[in-house]
Structure 1
Protein backbone atom coordinates (compact mmCIF):
# COMPACT_ATOMS: atom_id res chain seq x y z
CA UNK A 1 0.00 0.00 0.00
CA UNK A 2 1.65 3.22 -1.21
CA UNK A 3 2.23 6.02 1.29
CA UNK A 4 1.46 9.50 -0.04
CA UNK A 5 2.38 12.79 1.64
CA UNK A 6 -0.07 15.66 1.14
CA UNK A 7 1.47 19.07 1.98
CA UNK A 8 -1.55 21.36 1.94
CA UNK A 9 -2.95 23.90 4.42
CA UNK A 10 -6.62 23.95 3.29
CA UNK A 11 -8.65 21.62 5.53
CA UNK A 12 -11.37 21.07 2.94
CA UNK A 13 -8.91 19.87 0.32
CA UNK A 14 -7.02 17.72 2.82
CA UNK A 15 -10.24 16.04 3.90
CA UNK A 16 -11.60 15.05 0.52
CA UNK A 17 -8.24 14.14 -1.04
CA UNK A 18 -7.35 11.98 1.97
CA UNK A 19 -10.71 10.19 1.84
CA UNK A 20 -10.36 9.60 -1.88
CA UNK A 21 -6.82 8.26 -1.54
CA UNK A 22 -7.83 5.86 1.21
CA UNK A 23 -10.74 4.62 -0.90
CA UNK A 24 -8.28 4.02 -3.76
CA UNK A 25 -6.03 1.93 -1.54
CA UNK A 26 -3.36 4.48 -0.60
CA UNK A 27 -2.22 5.65 2.83
CA UNK A 28 -2.22 9.48 3.03
CA UNK A 29 -0.38 11.61 5.57
CA UNK A 30 -1.16 15.33 5.84
CA UNK A 31 1.22 18.19 6.62
CA UNK A 32 -0.19 21.72 6.84
CA UNK A 33 3.07 23.69 6.72
CA UNK A 34 6.12 23.60 4.50
CA UNK A 35 8.44 22.93 7.40
CA UNK A 36 6.40 19.96 8.64
CA UNK A 37 6.05 18.60 5.12
CA UNK A 38 9.77 18.85 4.42
CA UNK A 39 10.73 17.00 7.61
CA UNK A 40 8.16 14.26 6.97
CA UNK A 41 9.33 13.89 3.37
CA UNK A 42 12.92 13.44 4.55
CA UNK A 43 11.96 10.33 6.54
CA UNK A 44 11.88 8.48 3.22
CA UNK A 45 8.61 6.75 4.03
CA UNK A 46 6.62 8.27 1.14
CA UNK A 47 6.44 7.11 -2.45
CA UNK A 48 4.85 10.32 -3.74
CA UNK A 49 4.28 13.90 -2.54
CA UNK A 50 1.38 16.21 -3.41
CA UNK A 51 2.59 19.75 -2.75
CA UNK A 52 0.70 23.05 -2.50
CA UNK A 53 2.60 26.24 -3.34
CA UNK A 54 0.74 28.70 -1.09
CA UNK A 55 1.78 27.37 2.31
CA UNK A 56 1.53 29.57 5.42
CA UNK A 57 5.18 29.48 6.48
CA UNK A 58 7.12 29.15 3.24
CA UNK A 59 6.56 28.90 -0.50
CA UNK A 60 6.08 25.42 -1.91
CA UNK A 61 8.85 26.14 -4.40
CA UNK A 62 11.21 26.45 -1.42
CA UNK A 63 10.11 23.07 -0.07
CA UNK A 64 10.63 21.49 -3.49
CA UNK A 65 14.06 23.07 -3.93
CA UNK A 66 15.20 21.88 -0.49
CA UNK A 67 13.99 18.34 -1.18
CA UNK A 68 15.88 18.13 -4.46
CA UNK A 69 19.01 19.70 -3.00
CA UNK A 70 18.99 17.02 -0.30
CA UNK A 71 18.72 14.19 -2.83
CA UNK A 72 15.05 13.47 -2.21
CA UNK A 73 13.75 12.38 -5.61
CA UNK A 74 10.28 11.20 -4.63
CA UNK A 75 7.74 12.08 -7.36
CA UNK A 76 6.15 15.47 -6.62
CA UNK A 77 2.81 16.66 -8.00
CA UNK A 78 2.23 20.36 -7.44
CA UNK A 79 -1.39 21.21 -6.63
CA UNK A 80 -2.04 24.94 -6.54
CA UNK A 81 -4.31 27.86 -7.32
CA UNK A 82 -1.46 29.43 -9.28
CA UNK A 83 -2.10 28.54 -12.90
CA UNK A 84 0.05 30.91 -14.93
CA UNK A 85 2.47 29.56 -17.50
CA UNK A 86 5.39 31.06 -15.55
CA UNK A 87 4.40 29.21 -12.37
CA UNK A 88 3.91 25.95 -14.25
CA UNK A 89 7.30 26.22 -15.92
CA UNK A 90 8.96 27.20 -12.63
CA UNK A 91 7.45 24.19 -10.89
CA UNK A 92 8.51 21.69 -13.56
CA UNK A 93 11.97 23.17 -13.96
CA UNK A 94 12.32 23.20 -10.17
CA UNK A 95 12.01 19.43 -10.07
CA UNK A 96 8.27 18.73 -9.92
CA UNK A 97 7.01 15.74 -11.89
CA UNK A 98 3.56 17.16 -12.59
CA UNK A 99 1.51 20.32 -12.05
CA UNK A 100 -2.24 20.63 -11.45
CA UNK A 101 -4.19 23.85 -11.02
CA UNK A 102 -7.10 24.27 -8.61
CA UNK A 103 -9.99 23.67 -8.94
CA UNK A 104 -9.43 20.08 -9.99
CA UNK A 105 -11.20 16.75 -10.30
CA UNK A 106 -10.07 14.06 -7.90
CA UNK A 107 -10.17 11.37 -10.60
CA UNK A 108 -7.65 13.35 -12.64
CA UNK A 109 -5.36 13.74 -9.63
CA UNK A 110 -5.71 10.02 -8.93
CA UNK A 111 -4.85 9.18 -12.54
CA UNK A 112 -1.70 11.31 -12.34
CA UNK A 113 -0.71 9.68 -9.06
CA UNK A 114 -1.13 6.23 -10.56
CA UNK A 115 0.91 7.25 -13.57
CA UNK A 116 3.80 8.43 -11.38
CA UNK A 117 3.70 5.29 -9.23
CA UNK A 118 3.29 2.86 -12.13
CA UNK A 119 7.04 2.10 -12.50
CA UNK A 120 7.01 0.90 -8.88
CA UNK A 121 4.60 -1.88 -9.77
CA UNK A 122 0.96 -2.53 -10.64
CA UNK A 123 1.66 -1.19 -14.13
CA UNK A 124 0.19 -4.12 -16.00
CA UNK A 125 -3.06 -4.22 -14.04
CA UNK A 126 -4.27 -0.66 -14.41
CA UNK A 127 -4.89 -0.32 -18.14
CA UNK A 128 -8.20 -2.19 -18.17
CA UNK A 129 -11.03 -2.36 -15.64
CA UNK A 130 -13.68 -5.09 -15.83
CA UNK A 131 -16.70 -6.03 -13.77
CA UNK A 132 -19.16 -8.57 -15.05
CA UNK A 133 -20.03 -7.58 -18.62
CA UNK A 134 -18.58 -4.08 -18.24
CA UNK A 135 -15.11 -3.21 -19.51
CA UNK A 136 -13.19 0.09 -19.55
CA UNK A 137 -9.94 0.59 -21.43
CA UNK A 138 -8.12 3.37 -19.59
CA UNK A 139 -5.62 3.97 -22.39
CA UNK A 140 -8.08 4.42 -25.24
CA UNK A 141 -10.91 5.72 -22.98
CA UNK A 142 -13.32 3.21 -24.52
CA UNK A 143 -16.15 1.35 -22.82
CA UNK A 144 -17.83 -1.91 -23.74
CA UNK A 145 -20.79 -3.94 -22.51
CA UNK A 146 -20.63 -7.69 -23.23
CA UNK A 147 -18.03 -7.00 -25.91
CA UNK A 148 -20.03 -4.26 -27.65
CA UNK A 149 -18.42 -0.81 -27.64
CA UNK A 150 -20.41 2.04 -26.09
CA UNK A 151 -19.73 5.75 -26.57
CA UNK A 152 -19.26 7.63 -23.29
CA UNK A 153 -18.51 11.30 -22.75
CA UNK A 154 -15.40 12.18 -20.75
CA UNK A 155 -17.49 12.81 -17.63
CA UNK A 156 -19.50 9.59 -18.08
CA UNK A 157 -16.27 7.65 -18.47
CA UNK A 158 -14.82 9.20 -15.30
CA UNK A 159 -17.97 8.28 -13.37
CA UNK A 160 -17.94 4.73 -14.71
CA UNK A 161 -14.26 4.44 -13.79
CA UNK A 162 -15.01 5.50 -10.21
CA UNK A 163 -17.51 2.62 -9.92
CA UNK A 164 -15.32 0.00 -11.60
CA UNK A 165 -12.46 0.84 -9.28
CA UNK A 166 -14.79 0.21 -6.32
CA UNK A 167 -17.12 -2.64 -7.37
CA UNK A 168 -19.74 -3.55 -4.80
CA UNK A 169 -18.88 -0.55 -2.64
CA UNK A 170 -21.49 2.11 -1.89
CA UNK A 171 -20.30 5.47 -3.20
CA UNK A 172 -22.05 8.54 -1.84
CA UNK A 173 -23.04 11.50 -4.00
CA UNK A 174 -20.43 13.56 -2.15
CA UNK A 175 -17.68 11.05 -2.95
CA UNK A 176 -18.65 10.99 -6.62
CA UNK A 177 -18.85 14.78 -6.80
CA UNK A 178 -15.33 15.18 -5.39
CA UNK A 179 -13.83 12.45 -7.57
CA UNK A 180 -15.48 13.31 -10.87
CA UNK A 181 -16.50 16.97 -10.70
CA UNK A 182 -14.01 18.52 -8.29
CA UNK A 183 -13.78 19.65 -4.71
CA UNK A 184 -15.46 23.04 -5.30
CA UNK A 185 -18.57 21.69 -7.03
CA UNK A 186 -21.91 22.55 -5.42
CA UNK A 187 -22.74 19.63 -3.05
CA UNK A 188 -26.46 20.40 -3.47
CA UNK A 189 -26.35 19.71 -7.21
CA UNK A 190 -28.27 16.77 -8.70
CA UNK A 191 -25.64 16.28 -11.42
CA UNK A 192 -24.64 12.85 -10.02
CA UNK A 193 -28.19 11.55 -10.32
CA UNK A 194 -28.42 12.89 -13.88
CA UNK A 195 -25.20 11.15 -14.93
CA UNK A 196 -26.16 7.91 -13.19
CA UNK A 197 -29.22 7.94 -15.43
CA UNK A 198 -26.98 8.42 -18.46
CA UNK A 199 -24.84 5.43 -17.44
CA UNK A 200 -27.89 3.27 -16.83
CA UNK A 201 -29.15 4.07 -20.31
CA UNK A 202 -25.80 3.30 -21.94
CA UNK A 203 -24.33 0.52 -19.80
CA UNK A 204 -27.44 -1.12 -18.40
CA UNK A 205 -29.81 -0.08 -15.64
CA UNK A 206 -29.17 -3.26 -13.67
CA UNK A 207 -25.52 -2.39 -13.02
CA UNK A 208 -26.09 0.73 -10.92
CA UNK A 209 -28.16 0.16 -7.79
CA UNK A 210 -29.54 3.00 -5.68
CA UNK A 211 -28.88 2.52 -1.96
CA UNK A 212 -31.49 4.72 -0.33
CA UNK A 213 -30.05 7.49 1.81
CA UNK A 214 -26.46 6.46 1.03
CA UNK A 215 -25.62 6.58 -2.67
CA UNK A 216 -25.04 4.08 -5.47
CA UNK A 217 -23.36 0.70 -5.85
CA UNK A 218 -22.04 -1.14 -8.90
CA UNK A 219 -23.24 -4.74 -9.25
CA UNK A 220 -22.86 -7.29 -12.03
CA UNK A 221 -26.43 -6.84 -13.23
CA UNK A 222 -28.26 -9.32 -15.36
Structure 2
Protein backbone atom coordinates (compact mmCIF):
# COMPACT_ATOMS: atom_id res chain seq x y z
CA UNK A 1 0.00 0.00 0.00
CA UNK A 2 1.48 3.28 -1.09
CA UNK A 3 1.43 5.98 1.61
CA UNK A 4 2.41 9.65 1.46
CA UNK A 5 3.83 10.99 4.72
CA UNK A 6 3.97 14.80 4.94
CA UNK A 7 5.94 15.70 8.07
CA UNK A 8 8.62 18.37 8.51
CA UNK A 9 10.15 17.00 11.74
CA UNK A 10 13.06 15.02 10.29
CA UNK A 11 13.51 12.71 13.28
CA UNK A 12 9.80 11.94 13.56
CA UNK A 13 9.52 11.52 9.80
CA UNK A 14 12.39 9.03 9.68
CA UNK A 15 11.07 7.05 12.66
CA UNK A 16 7.51 6.97 11.30
CA UNK A 17 8.68 5.93 7.84
CA UNK A 18 10.52 2.93 9.25
CA UNK A 19 7.63 1.87 11.49
CA UNK A 20 5.01 2.30 8.77
CA UNK A 21 7.12 0.29 6.35
CA UNK A 22 7.38 -2.45 8.97
CA UNK A 23 3.57 -2.37 9.16
CA UNK A 24 3.30 -3.10 5.44
CA UNK A 25 3.18 0.34 3.85
CA UNK A 26 5.37 1.64 1.05
CA UNK A 27 6.21 5.15 2.27
CA UNK A 28 7.13 8.30 0.37
CA UNK A 29 8.11 10.97 2.92
CA UNK A 30 8.31 14.71 2.30
CA UNK A 31 8.65 17.70 4.63
CA UNK A 32 7.12 20.57 2.65
CA UNK A 33 3.75 21.52 1.19
CA UNK A 34 5.30 22.20 -2.21
CA UNK A 35 6.94 18.78 -2.24
CA UNK A 36 3.67 17.12 -1.25
CA UNK A 37 1.85 18.90 -4.08
CA UNK A 38 4.46 17.69 -6.54
CA UNK A 39 4.25 14.06 -5.39
CA UNK A 40 0.46 14.04 -5.25
CA UNK A 41 0.27 15.30 -8.83
CA UNK A 42 2.25 12.38 -10.25
CA UNK A 43 1.95 9.45 -7.84
CA UNK A 44 -0.93 7.16 -6.81
CA UNK A 45 -1.42 6.79 -3.05
CA UNK A 46 -3.84 4.72 -0.99
CA UNK A 47 -3.66 7.01 2.07
CA UNK A 48 -1.97 10.23 3.24
CA UNK A 49 -0.63 11.22 6.67
CA UNK A 50 -0.53 15.02 6.77
CA UNK A 51 1.06 17.31 9.34
CA UNK A 52 -0.57 20.76 9.59
CA UNK A 53 2.46 22.86 10.53
CA UNK A 54 4.65 22.87 7.42
CA UNK A 55 7.51 25.32 6.83
CA UNK A 56 6.15 26.61 3.53
CA UNK A 57 2.42 26.49 4.06
CA UNK A 58 -0.57 25.32 6.07
CA UNK A 59 -1.50 21.66 5.80
CA UNK A 60 -5.20 22.56 5.81
CA UNK A 61 -4.79 24.71 2.71
CA UNK A 62 -2.96 21.86 1.01
CA UNK A 63 -5.79 19.51 1.94
CA UNK A 64 -8.44 21.94 0.68
CA UNK A 65 -6.58 22.25 -2.62
CA UNK A 66 -6.49 18.46 -3.02
CA UNK A 67 -10.21 18.12 -2.33
CA UNK A 68 -11.06 20.94 -4.77
CA UNK A 69 -9.02 19.08 -7.39
CA UNK A 70 -10.96 15.89 -6.72
CA UNK A 71 -8.18 14.02 -4.93
CA UNK A 72 -10.09 11.37 -2.98
CA UNK A 73 -7.36 9.56 -1.02
CA UNK A 74 -8.14 9.14 2.68
CA UNK A 75 -6.20 11.73 4.68
CA UNK A 76 -5.13 11.37 8.31
CA UNK A 77 -4.19 14.69 9.93
CA UNK A 78 -1.25 14.39 12.31
CA UNK A 79 -0.56 17.46 14.41
CA UNK A 80 0.41 18.88 17.79
CA UNK A 81 -2.81 20.92 17.86
CA UNK A 82 -5.38 19.26 20.10
CA UNK A 83 -8.18 21.84 20.40
CA UNK A 84 -11.60 20.64 19.26
CA UNK A 85 -11.88 23.66 16.97
CA UNK A 86 -8.76 22.50 15.10
CA UNK A 87 -10.25 19.04 14.68
CA UNK A 88 -13.48 20.47 13.30
CA UNK A 89 -11.53 22.70 10.88
CA UNK A 90 -9.53 19.72 9.67
CA UNK A 91 -12.61 17.56 9.11
CA UNK A 92 -14.39 20.41 7.30
CA UNK A 93 -11.35 20.82 5.05
CA UNK A 94 -11.73 17.20 3.94
CA UNK A 95 -9.74 15.13 6.45
CA UNK A 96 -10.97 11.63 7.19
CA UNK A 97 -9.42 11.31 10.64
CA UNK A 98 -7.34 13.28 13.13
CA UNK A 99 -4.57 12.15 15.50
CA UNK A 100 -2.86 14.52 17.93
CA UNK A 101 0.79 14.28 18.94
CA UNK A 102 2.14 12.55 20.94
CA UNK A 103 0.61 9.26 19.83
CA UNK A 104 1.27 5.54 19.71
CA UNK A 105 2.29 4.23 16.30
CA UNK A 106 0.06 1.19 16.83
CA UNK A 107 -2.96 3.51 17.02
CA UNK A 108 -1.88 5.36 13.88
CA UNK A 109 -1.50 2.09 11.97
CA UNK A 110 -4.89 0.83 13.17
CA UNK A 111 -6.57 4.08 12.13
CA UNK A 112 -4.88 4.01 8.71
CA UNK A 113 -6.06 0.45 8.10
CA UNK A 114 -9.59 1.51 9.09
CA UNK A 115 -9.49 4.43 6.64
CA UNK A 116 -8.33 2.19 3.82
CA UNK A 117 -10.98 -0.42 4.61
CA UNK A 118 -13.71 2.20 4.41
CA UNK A 119 -12.30 3.59 1.16
CA UNK A 120 -12.45 0.05 -0.27
CA UNK A 121 -16.01 -0.49 0.96
CA UNK A 122 -15.33 -3.27 3.47
CA UNK A 123 -15.52 -3.70 7.25
CA UNK A 124 -13.47 -6.87 7.87
CA UNK A 125 -9.90 -6.26 9.04
CA UNK A 126 -8.94 -9.16 6.79
CA UNK A 127 -8.98 -8.92 3.02
CA UNK A 128 -10.95 -12.00 1.93
CA UNK A 129 -11.11 -13.12 -1.70
CA UNK A 130 -12.22 -16.54 -2.88
CA UNK A 131 -11.40 -18.31 0.37
CA UNK A 132 -8.02 -16.59 0.77
CA UNK A 133 -7.75 -14.29 3.80
CA UNK A 134 -4.97 -11.70 4.03
CA UNK A 135 -4.36 -10.47 7.58
CA UNK A 136 -3.19 -6.86 7.45
CA UNK A 137 -1.81 -6.81 10.99
CA UNK A 138 0.04 -10.13 10.98
CA UNK A 139 1.01 -9.81 7.30
CA UNK A 140 -0.01 -13.40 6.75
CA UNK A 141 -2.18 -15.29 4.27
CA UNK A 142 -4.58 -18.09 5.15
CA UNK A 143 -5.43 -20.38 2.24
CA UNK A 144 -8.82 -22.07 1.72
CA UNK A 145 -7.39 -25.30 3.18
CA UNK A 146 -6.60 -23.47 6.43
CA UNK A 147 -2.82 -23.32 5.99
CA UNK A 148 -1.33 -19.98 7.04
CA UNK A 149 1.70 -18.46 5.35
CA UNK A 150 3.80 -15.65 6.83
CA UNK A 151 4.71 -13.12 4.13
CA UNK A 152 7.68 -10.82 3.69
CA UNK A 153 6.93 -7.11 3.52
CA UNK A 154 7.24 -7.04 -0.27
CA UNK A 155 5.13 -10.19 -0.72
CA UNK A 156 2.45 -8.70 1.51
CA UNK A 157 2.31 -5.37 -0.33
CA UNK A 158 2.20 -7.06 -3.73
CA UNK A 159 -0.48 -9.57 -2.76
CA UNK A 160 -2.54 -6.92 -1.02
CA UNK A 161 -2.51 -4.77 -4.14
CA UNK A 162 -3.72 -7.68 -6.30
CA UNK A 163 -6.34 -8.88 -3.80
CA UNK A 164 -7.73 -5.39 -3.17
CA UNK A 165 -9.19 -5.39 -6.69
CA UNK A 166 -9.74 -9.02 -7.70
CA UNK A 167 -9.98 -9.54 -11.44
CA UNK A 168 -8.38 -6.18 -12.25
CA UNK A 169 -5.24 -6.33 -14.35
CA UNK A 170 -2.25 -4.52 -12.86
CA UNK A 171 0.68 -3.73 -15.11
CA UNK A 172 4.20 -4.23 -13.81
CA UNK A 173 4.61 -0.46 -13.58
CA UNK A 174 1.45 -0.14 -11.48
CA UNK A 175 2.63 -2.89 -9.15
CA UNK A 176 6.06 -1.33 -8.82
CA UNK A 177 4.43 1.97 -7.86
CA UNK A 178 2.35 0.36 -5.11
CA UNK A 179 4.97 -2.03 -3.76
CA UNK A 180 8.05 0.20 -3.69
CA UNK A 181 8.63 3.77 -2.53
CA UNK A 182 10.51 6.39 -4.54
CA UNK A 183 13.66 5.56 -2.57
CA UNK A 184 13.83 2.20 -4.34
CA UNK A 185 14.42 1.56 -8.03
CA UNK A 186 13.79 -2.15 -8.66
CA UNK A 187 13.45 -3.56 -12.15
CA UNK A 188 10.35 -5.21 -13.56
CA UNK A 189 12.15 -8.53 -13.03
CA UNK A 190 11.61 -8.06 -9.30
CA UNK A 191 7.85 -8.22 -9.80
CA UNK A 192 8.18 -11.40 -11.84
CA UNK A 193 10.30 -13.00 -9.11
CA UNK A 194 7.78 -12.15 -6.38
CA UNK A 195 4.85 -13.33 -8.50
CA UNK A 196 6.58 -16.71 -8.81
CA UNK A 197 7.05 -16.85 -5.03
CA UNK A 198 3.42 -15.95 -4.35
CA UNK A 199 2.12 -18.55 -6.79
CA UNK A 200 3.77 -21.18 -4.62
CA UNK A 201 1.50 -19.99 -1.80
CA UNK A 202 -1.77 -19.43 -3.69
CA UNK A 203 -1.47 -21.74 -6.70
CA UNK A 204 -0.45 -21.16 -10.29
CA UNK A 205 -3.97 -20.35 -11.50
CA UNK A 206 -4.87 -17.86 -8.78
CA UNK A 207 -2.56 -15.11 -10.02
CA UNK A 208 -3.14 -15.02 -13.76
CA UNK A 209 -0.88 -13.47 -16.37
CA UNK A 210 -2.32 -11.38 -19.17
CA UNK A 211 0.46 -11.33 -21.71
CA UNK A 212 1.55 -7.80 -22.53
CA UNK A 213 -0.82 -6.37 -19.88
CA UNK A 214 0.09 -7.60 -16.41
CA UNK A 215 -1.31 -9.72 -13.59
CA UNK A 216 -4.66 -10.22 -11.87
CA UNK A 217 -5.80 -12.09 -8.77
CA UNK A 218 -8.52 -14.59 -9.66
CA UNK A 219 -9.99 -16.97 -7.11
CA UNK A 220 -13.41 -18.63 -7.43
CA UNK A 221 -16.00 -17.76 -4.78
TM, length-normalised to structure 2? 0.56
Q: Is the 8 A contact 1:178 1:185 kept in 2?
A: no
TM-aligned CA deviation for residue 129 of structure 1: 1.5
Aligned to 2:86: 72
Aligned to 2:75: 48
Aligned to 2:57: 35
Q: Does 1:218 align with 2:221?
A: no
What number of residue pairs does the alignment pair up?
171
Aligned to 1:92: 101
**For residues 125 and 182 of structure 1, what CA distance do their matches in structure 2 show?**
27
Q: Which runs of 5+ in 2 are unaligned?
A: 7-31, 49-53, 91-96
TM-aligned CA deviation for residue 112 of structure 1: 5.9
Deviations 1:69-91 (A, max 9, x none): 682224458xxxxxxxxxxxxx9
**For residues 145 and 119 of structure 1, what CA distance do their matches in structure 2 show?**
21
Aligned to 2:162: 163
**For residues 121 and 15 of structure 1, what CA distance do their matches in structure 2 show?**
20
Aligned to 1:140: 138
CA, structure 1 residues 125+160, in 2 after alignment: closer, same or farther (shift >3 Å)? same
**For residues 85 and 64 of structure 2, what CA distance do their matches in structure 1 show?**
9
Counterpart of 2:150 (choices 134, 139, 152) is: 152
Aligned to 1:13: 39
Residues 154-163 or 194-203, more deviating: 154-163
Q: Is the 8 A contact 1:13 1:183 kept in 2?
A: no
Q: Is the 8 A contact 2:76 2:112 kept in 1?
A: no
Q: Is the 8 A contact 1:5 1:50 kept in 2?
A: no
CA, structure 1 residues 35+12, in 2 after alignment: closer, same or farther (shift >3 Å)? closer
**For residues 92 and 163 of structure 1, what CA distance do their matches in structure 2 show?**
34
**For residues 114 and 9 of structure 1, what CA distance do their matches in structure 2 show?**
27
